[in-house]
Amino acid sequence: MPKPDELLFALKTFVGAMAAFYVSAWLGLDAPYWAMATAFIVAQPFAGAMRSKALYRLCGTLAGGTAAVVLVPNLANATVLLSLAMALWIGLCLYIALLDRSPRSYTFMLAGYTAGIIGFPSVGDPSHIFETALTRVEEISIGIACTTMVGTLIFPRPLGPVLARRMSSWVKPAVDWSVAALAGEEESPLALEARRQLAFEATDAAMMISQLAYDISHLQSAVRLVTRVRLYIISLMPVLSSVGDRVAQLKKLGGITPELAAVLDGTTAWVQHGTPEEAGPLLQKIMAVEETAHDWAGLLRASLCVRLEELVRLVRHSRAIRLHVLEGTKAPDNITLDADYVAVLTETHDHKLALLSALAAVLAVLAVCCIWVETGWSSGGGAAIIVAVACSFFAAQDDPAPAIALMLRNALIVIAAVFVYDFAILPHVDDFIGLCLVLLPPGLVIGVLISRPATFGTGMVMGAFGATQLALNNGYRADFATFANSSVALIVGLGSALVITRIIRSVGAAWSAERLLRANWRDVAAAANGRQDRAALTGLMIDRLGLMMPRLAAVASGADAAAQMALKDLRVGLNMIGLHKIHAQLPPVARHASEAVLAGVAAHYQGDASQPPPGKLCDAIDATIRAIQDNPLEHKLALMSLSGLRTVLFPVYLPPEPLGDAA
Amino acid sequence: MIGEIDLFGVLLPPLLVWVGVALLLSTLLRRGLAKVGFYRFVWHRPLFDISLLVILTGLVSLAATLVF
């Protein structure tokens, strides 16, 4: 049974849709059901999500309408060329849309198939294309205006509190993981779970944060702050991974001094329940830990302290911002922590997969156009529109085929319902109130479906298809030929989209995860060659980790190991960047040895990096360390990078032999 | 207030122009209110915003009648 708030949302959606229909019909527009369909498409439970989608839809419609007005009259006499141009435009827009992973991508996707929606039916009579395009834009605007008005003014559901809850939910995994790392027990079930959660959230929250800008709660203006917190969480992950590794190694070597143990305990206690103000003394304590021993354990201790400092600073900043945003405490003095270990927001783009999706859409549209032109079927344009929509809509998924199959099933249900309405119910309806009453039951069902995340797509598809298949107009004109034609067009369109997607576009989750992993390796190799930036590398690789997590969880039980590996790869990359920066200042002997390190890492990551790295590389690292360990203060950075690298790549190797005494 | 405003040959209903001016003013006002944290005390922000727009439109048209 639907809950009261779901019913309320359904009612709001229905009122918005009928109002949009009424206004368009009252203005005498040609196809008022477009406004109605838009009302269902834009409807979303959260005000922020709805308002952003409304804006994106408006922009996309404008762009698509313009493209149709430009293309159709110029190529109306050459059907083949026109089909080709339309298909390429749809493909191009889809390609751009797939490169933008934010909700804004809807604009580009829509610009593609809107050109089809306006252009294909006008091919026979291109002289009216401008009016058709204008009508469509007007009706979309009316639909958007009605839905957003109803959705925003009548019991709106702000996104802010939801995001606030989500932000609070980051605290527990972050603290769990930190505590486990500080104890050197990164493999505990709690820490594994925490890592999975954080990696997923760091990437997944991006969408909601971008919708927050359109929200109606006071958190609307906090987008920048929430983004900072997300950034700190991203930056925290490699730091935690290295802290955990070093503590574990030190424990194994028995190298934890009482001083260090006190600092570790202090940090653990502060991470669990310290205020941002208490971080200052703790930082001073960490920085005061002086390292005199120049052996391997000493090196580990010194680099651990650097990481601890980063950890505390990151946690302090995110904590201060969270308290400010959620509880309204005083704003932190400077919300931007300006340090080289803070990541920048980067999104990975999969050009190849985007191209493949675009190619599938182009071929599918061309195939349907071929059938259309060869058979001279009057509703072939409708099928071409549907195929473009179906190929675009789910293109961001690894395998869009199941979603398209579901769409086909929903379309069949819609066709059955429209048949009943067209020939049994609507003939008895002769005024607007009656129309509202007979449409209320399916409208409410669709609204409830839209309000539930799991059935959101189903509800939206049913609303949009239902409104367009019903094709309500001023006055009743049921006609079996029209109904049959548009229904067959819907089925043919979805069917061909399904077939072509299955043939050329479907990929598995495992394959995608593997590609992400390989892209990571390429970036690490690039870092070893000095072609990467620290902040960008962190942003990029954590982004990929977030994309990998759900895919790995879907295919295998080894997701944790893979996530662990991705973090280790990232740390290798960061150490390589560090080493590259100071490489030129090393004394000649050390420089020679470190060149071997850089080349060795690059070679390792250009090949299959899931294999254990060659022992030769370990020797090269040890040789470099030996060459500079007499001068630890001058070469602190190099020693940090090298010891970090050795910890990540050769965790089971014994500590380098000759270290301890100057060799 | 009957009549039209002639904007380079395009005749516009005055109300449209007043709403446009009010929209501009309300945008500025909303920015300011958000900055000082006023919206923390507002129960229904959209309702508040649209009421603000209506009031400003009223004020603008009132001012316009007084001036012209």
Q: For A391-435, how does the pLDDT look when each residue is reduced to its tens digit (9 = 90+)?
A: 999 998 889 999 999 999 999 999 999 999 988 898 888 889 999
Check pLDDT > 80 for residue A228.
Answer: yes
What lies within 8 Å, CB to CB, of A509 at 6+ separation is: A398, A399, A551, A552, A554, A555
pLDDT of residue A636: 79
Q: Which residues pair with A600 in a beta bridge?
A: none
Average pLDDT, chain A: 87
Q: Quick check: A160 and A219 in contact, CB under 8 A?
A: yes
pLDDT tens column, A485-523: 999 999 999 999 999 999 988 888 888 888 888 999 999
Cα–Cα dist A365/A500, whole Å? 10
Q: Tell me which residue in A47, A153, A328 faces B50 most closely, judged by beta carbons.
A: A153
Q: Do A153 and B47 touch (CB under 8 A)?
A: yes
Within A213-257, residue ranges assigned H as helices are 223-253
DSSP-derived secondary structure for B1-68: ----EEETTEEE-HHHHHHHHHHHHHHHHHHHHHHTTGGGG-S-HHHHHHHHHHHHHHHHHHHHHHH-
* Among B27, B42, B44, the residue to mutate for chain A (most A Cβ within 10 A): B44
The pLDDT of residue A205:
87
Asked if A218 has any chain B CB less than 8 Å from its own CB, the reply is yes
Hey, which residues does B7 pair with through a beta bridge? Answer: B10
Which stretch, A15-19, A152-156, A560-564, A649-653, has highest mean pLDDT?
A15-19
| pLDDT at A333 (0 to 100) | 66
Interface contact B54, partner A, CB < 8 A: no
Residue A656 has a pLDDT of 66
Which contacts of A431-439 are long-range, i.e. CB under 8 A and separated by 24 or more positions? A432/A22, A435/A18, A435/A472, A436/A18, A439/A14, A439/A18
Maximum average pLDDT range among A8-12, A72-76, A534-538, A599-603: A8-12
Substitution target from B42, B45, B52 for chain A, most A beta carbons within 10 A: B45
Of A239, A189, A335, nearest to A574 by C-alpha is A239
pLDDT category of residue A551 using cuts at 50, 70 and 90:
confident
Q: Where are the beta strands (DSSP E) in A89-227?
A: none
Residue A47: partners with Cβ closer than 8 Å, 6 or more residues away: A151, A152, A156, A157, A158, A159, A214, A215, A216, B46
**Spatial separation of the C-alpha atoms in residues A40 and A659, rounded to whole Å:** 70
A55-58, Cβ contacts within 8 angstroms, sequence gap of 24 or more? A55/A214, A56/A103, A56/A104, A56/A106, A56/A107, A56/A110, A57/A106, A57/A107, A57/A110, A57/A140, A57/A144, A58/A140, A58/A141, A58/A144
Question: What is the C-alpha separation between A351 and A355, in angstroms, rounded?
Answer: 6
Q: Does A589 touch chain B (CB under 8 A)?
A: no
Is A218–B45 a contact, with Cβ atoms under 8 angstroms apart? yes
Phi, psi of A390, rounded to the nearest 5 degrees? -65, -40
A503 close to B (CB below 8 A): no
- pTM metric for this prediction: 0.86
- The answer to whether the Cβ–Cβ distance between A153 and B46 falls below 8 Å is yes
Per the CB < 8 A criterion, the answer to whether A182 and A286 are in contact is no
Set out the domains of chain A in order of their start, with CATH numbers. 4-157+350-505 (no CATH), 160-327 (1.20.120), 509-649 (no CATH)
> Is A216 at the interface with chain B, CB within 8 A?
yes
Q: What is the mean pLDDT of residues A569-578?
A: 88
A152 interfaces chain B, CB cutoff of 8 Å: yes
Domain ranges within chain B, ordered by starting residue: 5-67
pLDDT recorded at residue A335: 63
Determine the average pLDDT of the residues in A523-545: 85
DSSP code at position A607 = S
Confidence of residue A111 (pLDDT cuts 50, 70, 90): very high
At B1, the pLDDT band (50, 70, 90 cuts) reads: very low
Residue of B nearest to A214 (CA): B46
> Is pLDDT above 60 for A303?
yes
CA A113-A115-A118 angle, 5° bins: 110
SS3 for A253-265 is: HCCCCHHHHHHHH
**Residue A557 CB: number of other CB atoms within 10 A?**
8
pLDDT at A332 over 80: no
Distance CA B68, CA A520 (A): 68
pLDDT interval class at A663 (50, 70, 90) = very low
Q: Is A328 on the interface with B (CB under 8 A)?
A: yes
Say yes or no for a CB contact (<8 Å) between A221 and B50. Answer: no
The more confidently predicted of residues A475 and A463 is: A463
User: Residues A239-252: what's their mean pLDDT?
Assistant: 88
Do A156 and B39 count as a contact with CB atoms less than 8 A apart?
no
3-state secondary structure A389-420: HHHHHCCCCCCCHHHHHHHHHHHHHHHHHHHH
CB contact under 8 Å between A47 and B46, yes or no, is yes
**Region A269-281 average pLDDT:** 85
